[in-house]
Amino acid sequence: MLKRIFAAMLACTLAGPAMAASGNVELQRRDWSFSGPFGTFDKAAMQRGFQAYREVCAGCHSLELIAFRNFADLGYNEAEIKAIAAQYDVQDGPNDDGEMFMRPGIAADRIPSPYLNENAARAGNNGALPPDLSLITKARANGPDYLFSLLAGYKEAPEGVTVPEGMHYNAAYPGNLIAMPQPLYGEDVTYSDGANNSVEAISSDLVQFLMWAAEPKMEVRKRIGVAAVFFLSIFLIFSYLAKRRIWADVH
């Protein structure tokens, strides 16, 4: 039994990369505002990204790790967060009668998931599981570029490639056949700030929002990082000079 598991796993190790290699994966490299040691999030883009998530993705994809209170990072104030939270129905309970009940969300609640559980999610999507998006940009290699390329990567299948029923051709997806139907066609969302709503623009906004969702502490991390590296560089110079002084009388 165990031997079979082991063999199967070795087979997976063998087959996995071969599968990944069979389709051409096209990654579009982009300059993101959050790249590099001084990178920051674009708050307006994140707000638009949240709107796009809500109107396009949230029907199938959960965002389990994000609570409404986290939206302070997007630039919303307390009242706005309260208002956003109140637009969602959150299950609470049990009440004194032992029943679960729905109530409007509060800032401390997490964003409710579209499906009750994994089986329900699969049942609603032809057996494919729409992954939770909280960590998606960290859970894929080159996450931000990959996500952007995936959203903008739906194409006509090239000749010779048959796309089975329920699958879709995507240039950025490993193996090129993805269960998710094309989510963006352009003008899917109307932004209140009148920003561009082409497929590329919405994808970019979504990447901003989801990068923040995966790594909400990135800005403070980089800020402390710059100070720490500066401090340690001085420390290195000083300790080296001190070492030279102390060792001057040896030899």
Partner 1 sequence: MAKSDKTQNPAKGDVQEPGRRDFFVVATYAMAGLGAAAVAWPLIDQLNPAADTLALANIEVDVSKIAVGQSITVKWRGKPVFIRHRTADEIARANATDITGLRDPQDDVARAEKPEYLVLVGVCTHLGCVPLGQKTGEVRGDYDGWFCPCHGSHYDTSGRIRKGPAPTNLEVPPHNYLSDSVIRIG
Partner 2 sequence: MSAEKFQNPVVRWIDHRLPVFSMLDHEKYDYPVPKNLNYMWNFGVLAGMALAIMIVTGIVLAMSYTAHVDYAFESVERIMRDVNHGWLIRYIHMNTASFFFIVVYIHILRGLYYGSYKAPRELLWILGVVIFLLMMATAFMGYVLPWGQMSFWGATVITNLFSAIPIVGDSIVTLLWGGFSVDNATLNRFFSLHYLLPFVISGVVVLHIVALHRFGSNNPIGIDASGPQDTISFHPYYTIKDMVGIAVFLLLLAMTVFFFPNAMGHPDNYIPANALQTPAHIVPEWYFLPFYAILRAVPDKLGGVLLMFGAIAVLFILPWLDKSPVRSARFRPLFRIFFWLFLIDAILLGYLGGKPAEGIYVTLSRIATAWYFLHFLVILPLLSMFETTKPLPKSISEPVLGSSGRSA
Pairing of strands 168-169, 89-92: unpaired
> Which residue number, 2 or 248, has a Cβ lying nearer to partner 1?
248
CB of 197 to partner 2, least distance (A): 29
Burial of 212 (C-beta count, 10 Å sphere; 0-12/13-18/19+): buried
* CA pair distance 191, 196, nearest whole angstrom: 8
CB of 201 to partner 2, least distance (A): 26
User: What contacts 97, CB < 8 A, 6 or more positions away?
Assistant: none
213 and 54 Cβ atoms separated by less than 8 Å: no
> Which residue number, 49 or 144, has a Cβ lying nearer to partner 2?
144
Nearest Cα neighbor of 184 from 205, 164, 198, 168 is 198
Contact of residue 5 among partner 1, partner 2, none (CB under 5-8 Å per partner type): partner 2
Q: Which residues sit at the interface with partner 2, rule CB under 8 A?
A: 1-3, 5-6, 8-10, 12-14, 16-20, 37, 65, 70, 131, 134-135, 138-141, 143, 174, 214, 216-217, 221-222, 224-226, 228-229, 232-233, 235-236, 239-240, 242-243, 246-247, 250-251
* CA pair distance 30, 45, nearest whole angstrom: 15
Contact of residue 214 among partner 2, partner 1, none (CB under 5-8 Å per partner type): partner 2
Q: Which residues sit at the interface with partner 1, rule CB under 8 A?
A: 67, 69, 106-108, 231-232, 234-235, 238-239, 241-242, 245-246, 248-249
